[in-house]
A and B are shown apart, each in its own frame.
Chain A
């Protein structure tokens, strides 16, 4: 990335301020390593936030981690590891002047990156369906999807750009094929393939989620420990923690639900306390009371793309489940024990951290895809030779760092016991 070709008069691909190819390579290598150091420090801020909150409230992390699907996380890990392998092979191919191997491995790396993003899109849209947003907008509820395949509207929203790009790149590939510009055509087909990888990941992730939903629903009908739950309609949830004792209808109505919750376990969750805990939310709570969320649970379509949802802190079925196990909030809220509200608030904190870390990582993946596209263009046009393969090496290092960060993110976020 630091090398351009204007030094051709000395030797091809050596910039004029370098003595030889090796010096150029070494200089660039040092540069990218320094950049990687800054990237590590960039993430270390988020890791620090994670460490502090986990240190303070480990039980919240354990609870919240149940929302994250280990299998999808594991698939993402393997996909990224494989992309690291193909990237390393691409670097090797660049060094050995194996142009075709280089091109193929670059493409595979890009496809793997896109698969990663596709699976992430399924994960995120599933969470947004359930109202799991950042702290302050955290509002977990089981959305009512009814029977059959349900594709979240958020998944559609996330997939708009990849779909457009897929069409554009395929069109570009076809156009250049027709005009007999083989290299450009190959490049655009490569990019289209990469976009296809996104859909592969999204479809695969969706298939897995549907299968998991069906499995947990079947398991629940089997052991029937939902007698207290109003099964007026089928409910497909992805987590299987179907142990709440509030009826579906009441959960959607904030005021009614709060009252019902108070009746059920006698905890003094009066409106005043909850009003106070809403003071630090930027959205006014008044909207929520007048709103009757529809059964899809997505906030009556008022959910903007900024993912701002009702800021009410409804007690959730998940919390009921955990709360029944180890709840201290039955007491009136003036003792030192943790109230349900507080717990709810803190689970939202976990998800703030989760979204920041995985979101930042996803941004790095996207940036990596752009860099890899640049490399693909150059590789197709034969810019790399045995004595000039620096860019491949450097982007490879960046990509390995992205993989490294995910290697740490996966156990820290998904595998909390």
Chain B
């Protein structure tokens, strides 16, 4: 981490170098363009994976450098990563739950609307 010597700053402040900030911004813009371009690639199911990977890289850049996490005390990083952990838990658990009841949900006849799949629950 670089301190800029042409300005006084407190010992606990870590002013980020200007070049780094601008560089990160340019990287973010490039990644955005990449995301938009990658949208047209015929990747099939990988589309979402690629988009989310690029988004996560962008998010990491923002978090590490714009949000100063690169130079931060460890506990803040733990706090943020824990939120990500709980986000992942939330979504994965709900998806698992949904998956286990999938056939029941989709075969449930709603009056006036047909079932949404061909699956018919087996007779009890």
Contacts and interface: CB of A to CB of B under 8 A. Distances in A.
B86 A411 contact: no
B15 A96 contact: yes
A203 B68 CA distance: 35
A78 interface: yes
Contacts of B12: 21-22, 25-26
B112 A41 contact: no
Nearest to B97: A52
A393 B4 CA distance: 18
A375 to B, nearest CB: 16
Contacts of A208: none
Contact of A92 (B16, B55, B120): B16
B67 A70 contact: no
A40 B87 contact: yes
A387 B10 contact: yes
Contact of B25 (A37, A40, A85): A85
Interface residues of A, number: 68
A39 to B, nearest CB: 9
Given A30-B76, A88-B21, A273-B112, A415 B51 contact: yes
Interface stretch (A213-221, A338-346, A361-369): A338-346
Contacts of A88: 16, 21, 65-66
A335 B76 CA distance: 55
Interface residue range, chain B: 35 or more
A47 B83 contact: no
Interface string B11-55: 111111010011011001100100110010000000100011011
A29 B76 contact: yes
Contact of B113 (A82, A277, A408): A277
A386 B32 CA distance: 34
A335 B82 contact: no
A98 interface: yes
B21 A85 contact: yes
Contact of B11 (A22, A81, A403, A404): A22
A87 B16 CA distance: 12
A34 B10 contact: no
| Most chain B beta-carbon neighbours within 10 Å: one of A36, A411, A415 | A411
A411 B94 contact: no
B29 A97 contact: no
A325 B11 CA distance: 65
Contacts of B22: 85
A408 B10 CA distance: 35
Nearest to B20: A88
A52 B10 CA distance: 48
Contacts of A96: 4, 7-9, 15
Contacts of A336: 114-120
A119 B111 CA distance: 42
B112 A47 contact: no
A285 interface: no
Nearest to A411: B51
Nearest to A55: B95
B55 A411 contact: yes
A206 interface: no
Contacts of B72: 29
A337 B116 CA distance: 6
A333 B66 contact: no
A411 B35 contact: yes
A45 B87 CA distance: 9
Contacts of A82: 25
Contacts of A97: 7-9
Contacts of B117: 336
A70 B98 CA distance: 31
Contacts of B82: 37
Nearest to B117: A336
Contact of A21 (B10, B32, B73, B79): B10
A84 B86 contact: no
B10 A78 contact: no
A100 to B, nearest CB: 13
Interface string A10-54: 000000000001100110011001101100110011011001100
8 contacts: A33-B76, A37-B82, A41-B83, A81-B28, A95-B10, A273-B112, A397-B68, A400-B62
Given A78-B29, A401-B67, A417-B39, 17 more contacts: A22-B11, A30-B76, A37-B80, A40-B87, A44-B91, A77-B32, A81-B25, A81-B29, A88-B21, A336-B117, A338-B116, A389-B13, A393-B68, A404-B62, A408-B59, A410-B32, A411-B35
Interface of A: 21-22, 25-26, 29-30, 33-34, 36-37, 40-41, 44-45, 47-48, 51-52, 55-56, 70, 74, 77-78, 81-82, 84-85, 87-89, 91-92, 95-98, 272-273, 276-277, 279, 333-339, 341-342, 386-387, 389, 393, 396-397, 400-401, 403-404, 407-408, 410-412, 415, 417
The 10 closest A-B pairs by CB, nearest first: A276-B112, A96-B7, A37-B83, A22-B12, A411-B51, A387-B10, A95-B13, A85-B25, A40-B83, A95-B15
